[in-house]
Amino acid sequence: MRPGEVRVLPGEVRVLPAGPHALLVELADGEHAEAFHAELLRRRERGELPAVREIVPAARTVLIDGIHDRIHGALHDGGHGGIRGAVHTGAVDRFARDLASWRVEPLRSESGDPVEIPVVYDGPDLGEVAALWGVPPGEVAALHSRTAFRVAFCGFAPGFGYLTGLPEPLHVPRRATPRTRVPAGAVALAGPYTGVYPRPSPGGWQIVGRMPEPGALWDPAREPAALLAPGTPVRFVPVGAGALPAPRAETPGPGDTPAGGSPGDTSGSPAGGSPGSPAGGSRVGA
């Protein structure tokens, strides 16, 4: 094993079938899941994976969907019925065995410029977070904005990313009493995660600030529509309150709450399961 390498041991990873064309990889924790997802992307870029349609990370899982065997691809496209199914099952089984034996490198610092998100650090839970961190309220912005974040996975609503990077001493619990409505643009913390609410929603995370233009998080007219994708490096940039429009006092209409409800609702997660557990991962909620 190379110095500094993280070995994902067979006892720490489970590879499960998820239908005839997919595998669900269960990891020991979020750090392993992020590292495993990054390794999958590296190997796909080098052409070392079977053709797959989609790789979807979650809190402690990675879903690999649309697995195709390049070598026997012609059989998939013909009318060979049982042969086609047998060949495909063999390809998935071989891939599952390979995944369980991988050596996975630790997460690297992402190359390229991070996505910068402007934030006014004036959230209603700023004082509570400061007390939990043991610092004056004015230090929360400095500590949070100095952190190099990374999008671990996405879920709950279009454009919502679960960002990791805060050291463990700065992890905070969810609020004891969730809010019935969190405004769009709220920058909030819970556990190891930071998130920015793209639309108004119920939620229980600790709000420390607000983003001026949350519509940038999800724009269907843009390609890609999501500003934040798994693996994206992110930094928060403090800005003064005078540079932002005042939050609108509005009554949420029928379209204000995403179909998935709050980030703790399981009904609207893009990949099934609760947000933080697309395709069967651990429930995280917001």
In tens, the pLDDT along 216-251 reads 999 999 999 999 999 999 999 999 876 555 555 443
Residue type, 162: Y
Q: How many structural domains is the chain composed of? A: 2
Together in a domain, 238 and 119: yes
Distance CA 23, CA 48 (A): 17
At 238, give phi and psi (nearest 5°).
Answer: -65, 135
279 against 193, higher pLDDT: 193
pLDDT score for 111? 62
Together in a domain, 14 and 121: no
The residue-averaged pLDDT of 18-45 equals 90
Sheet with 161-164, side-by-side order of all strands: 115-119, 233-238, 149-154, 161-164, 193-196, 186-190, 206-210
Read off the pLDDT band of 89 (50, 70, 90). Answer: low
Report the CATH number that the domain containing residue 137 is assigned in CATH. Answer: 2.40.100.10
Range list of H helices, the chain:
30-45, 73-77, 82-100, 126-133, 137-145
For 8, the token pair is: 């994902």
Together in a domain, 61 and 173: no
Domain range enclosing 63: 10-100
The residue-averaged pLDDT of 250-274 equals 37
For 233, the token pair is: 């490096």
Whether 107 is covered by a domain: the verdict is: no
For 143, the token pair is: 């500590």
Whether 3 is covered by a domain: the verdict is: no
Residue 59's CB is within 10 A of a number of other CB atoms, namely 26
Nearest partner of 27 among 36, 40, 18, judged by Cα: 36
Whether 66 is covered by a domain: the verdict is: yes
- Angle among Cα 93, 94, 99 to the nearest 5 degrees reads 95
Query: Is residue 203 predicted with pLDDT exceeding 60?
Result: yes
Report the CATH number that the domain containing residue 54 is assigned in CATH. Answer: 3.30.1360.40
Together in a domain, 138 and 236: yes
Nearest partner of 190 among 170, 210, 209, judged by Cα: 170
Together in a domain, 119 and 239: yes
pLDDT score for 246? 55
Pairing of strands 179-182, 61-65: unpaired
Together in a domain, 66 and 36: yes
Together in a domain, 45 and 141: no
The residue-averaged pLDDT of 80-105 equals 69
Q: How far is CA 276 from CA 44, 61, 206, 257, in A?
A: 24, 9, 17, 19
Query: Is residue 174 predicted with pLDDT exceeding 50?
Result: yes
Whether 25 is covered by a domain: the verdict is: yes
Whether 283 is covered by a domain: the verdict is: no
Q: How far is CA 55 from CA 41, 167, 222, 276, in A?
A: 8, 27, 21, 15
In tens, the pLDDT along 112-161 reads 789 999 999 999 999 999 999 999 999 999 999 999 999 999 988 889 99
Whether 215 is covered by a domain: the verdict is: yes
Contacts of 217 (CB under 8 A, 6+ apart): 159, 160, 196, 198, 211, 226, 227, 228
Together in a domain, 95 and 183: no
Together in a domain, 14 and 86: yes
At 223, give phi and psi (nearest 5°).
Answer: -125, 115
Query: Is residue 279 predicted with pLDDT exceeding 60?
Result: no
85 against 118, higher pLDDT: 118
pLDDT score for 106? 77
Range list of H helices, 5-124:
30-45, 73-77, 82-100
Domain ends where: 100, 134, 159?
100
For 199, the token pair is: 């639309």
pLDDT score for 104? 83
Query: Is residue 165 predicted with pLDDT exceeding 90?
Result: yes
Together in a domain, 73 and 122: no
Together in a domain, 74 and 14: yes
Q: Which three-class secondary structure state does DSSP give residue 171?
A: coil
Domain ends where: 54, 72, 100?
100
Residue type, 123: G
Whether 262 is covered by a domain: the verdict is: no
135 against 259, higher pLDDT: 135
Together in a domain, 85 and 166: no
Query: Is residue 10 predicted with pLDDT exceeding 80?
Result: no
pLDDT score for 270? 33
Average pLDDT, the chain: 79
Whether 206 is covered by a domain: the verdict is: yes
pLDDT score for 57? 94
CA 235 centroid distance within chain: 15
Query: Is residue 55 predicted with pLDDT exceeding 70?
Result: yes
